[in-house]
Structure 1
Amino acid sequence: MNSPADLRVYLRTLDVETLVELLCGQAARDPELRQSLELRATTQGKDVAEAHRLLDTAVGGGNVDYGAKIGAVLDTLQRLLDAGSSADLAPLARRTVDDISETVEQSGDHSGELADRLERAVDLYARACAARPPDPERLAEWILEVEFDGPGWPAIELADFASALGEKGLRHIKSTVDAVLAEGGTGPRREIAERLQEELAEVLGDVDGLVALLSAKPPRVEVSLKIVRVLRAAGRHSEAIAHAARALTLDKTEPEPEPEDETVSLRRKEFDAEPNRHTYAALQAAAVAAGRWSVHHRAAMSRLREAAREGQQGADELTHVLLAEDRFDDAWRACVRFGASLEVRAELAELRADEHPADAIPVYRGRIEDLIERKDPQSYREAARQLRKLRTLHRRAGSTDEFTEYLGGLVETHRRKTRLIAEVRAARIALPKPRAPQPVTS
């Protein structure tokens, strides 16, 4: 290995069990490392215990105290998940979802701040399950209970829980969905089952099954456009083109909408075809003017999330829409969850740096490394400026030792880039002393 960066690359190729064995073996030989690891484990345990205590004492969704305590629990979950905690956070996350869901039902706050926190809690529960999968059939039972027996919330997307459910959990959900559909009839249960059937086909990669389900729906432009997206994502471009042509024909033969909804209908078609911040804003303006925004808002956000799953551009657009609505925490979660571009992540990191320095640190590191890779004087100078900001973030986060270690690895990796090293010195960043060579022992 030529540098710490090379070592990190190698370590990332190892599976978790191998890393655990290596780390435990080294901790057995190194008392200082063992103490550091035990301290981290103890701290995380205390954080989880404190979060449970807050839930125990949080009462009533209509008071400030409840909101503050739930917010603290959600922040704890996110911080531990972002840090790659080894703790099993799924039980705490599940309890938080259930608690907020019950409070939403009691308070009737289905679209306000509590509803936003419930959506965040579900996202964190999905992440916790992915990190430490619970029993897949029990997780499937919880999802089925929420969907078929719940009050209509929280909203759950199977794609978020697919990795934790695995084949066994997804099969369990499918058997229940098939049984409900076999009952026949109409009503909410069948509608839920049909939606889950579509989500299952998408999660399982059953392109033909999903296209068949969509094709069986009443002919609408938005349905045809979804078929086009599904076929295109599967690489079946000729079929996608054929469906797109049929969608255009359908658009010309659809009956004219009611006069008061004509603009909304047009803006909705434009948004469904090209979901981005501009078409979203146009749809919002038209729907608000017509008094129909509450009808379109949730569907529009769902379409943006769908586009975000398809690629980085979609993730960027969703993030920008959430930022425009001043939903800064939601924008950050979407940015991380769907993999927005470095440019967008950097923009958000600057907004979060004051209150959430630990969130911003990885983004600043990525920005610094990107600048260094450009290998020109101006980029080196900007990288040095970003290093100063990164040093400040580590101070705020109480992790100055990590900055020192990071800076040492960076200097070691790029020690031959004399212009870069000069810019770092010019930015008044103290360079770490070169490590003394280790004595060779026989």
Structure 2
Amino acid sequence: MNSLPAAVASALAEAGGEDDADWPACWQELTAVSVELQSLLLTDPGPELVALVEQIVTQLADGVAGSRRHRVELAELTHRVLDIHARACAVSTPDPVRLADWLLDLQLEHPEAPEVALAPYAEALDDEGLAHYRERAVALFEPLPVVGFGETGRYDRARWALLRVMEELAEYTDDVDLQLLVLSKDLSSGWHYLQVATVLRDAGRADEALEWIDRGLRATGGRGAALRLIDLAVEEHLRRAAPHRAVAVCREAFLVRPNLEIYLKARALVVHTDEWPPLRAELVEHLVRDGGRLAIEVYRRIVEVELARRGVQEQEVVVGWLRQLRGLQPDAFADYLEHIKSRHVADRELLDELSRRGL
């Protein structure tokens, strides 16, 4: 038993040489150690075997870090030996706090490998060991700086290792607060805000979800994941039987960054109510005041949508919008108007109305 660490050290030293021809023999020696450990698990389980396997796992993890040509094979072997360690711990019931420290230190000191799954250690860690593991991991993770919106995350080895530890811990414990702690360390895009809000919504913490949606919308300025954030907010307000809040979300988002999809969301919410005419007028007036290229493009798309859906009342509104658009874009308006007429050449009622209005 005591000769196994020396065999591993010798094989790793030879495998790290310049002559790759030595690798097959080295690999055979390393796998033979793995087989011997499995045999010892059956014949001589106990604290001594746990300590021995820990020593060999550490050796192999060091080998992964120091190898360029055989990193994958060594990582896979490390995982196999680590599985033997988990089974040995289940039999010998080591001190749970010491085991928690060893598992955590192994990962933090060897970011390349192995990735430790906590489930195989459930019995050995027990509540005491798991609580210690969680306390240490959180204490190390919490001080990490948050990656702010628009920033590029710098994932050095230490941060990457801690992130992996926390993700596994959150998944194993099914702890929403841990999951949120992990997600909220990277807020570099609107999609990250969306992830946090979705987790909160799914956990039944809707008030917090809406707070994160608001933060995400402010951060994105209407770009990127903003539409999905708005969808989430609208769904939640409708679930709460508060359609006025859903409309307010759409209105505020449109005023920040005009968008046809947001316009259509607002329209769908109140089109059959008395709220729609004044809201529509406000949104269109905002486009008129804005007057930029984006506003004009959104304006044109709204006109097209309303033309496709119009009734008698909508026809009058569309004609009014076209006259406003002529003031916004006089040079290009004639071509745009001819485009509309050619697409609706069979609609005599519309063409007569345009003519009557001087268009």
- TM-score grouping bracket, smaller chain normalisation: 0.3 to 0.5
Q: TM-score, normalised by structure 2?
A: 0.42
Q: TM-score, normalised by structure 1?
A: 0.35
Answer with 1 or 2: which has the greater Rg. Answer: 2
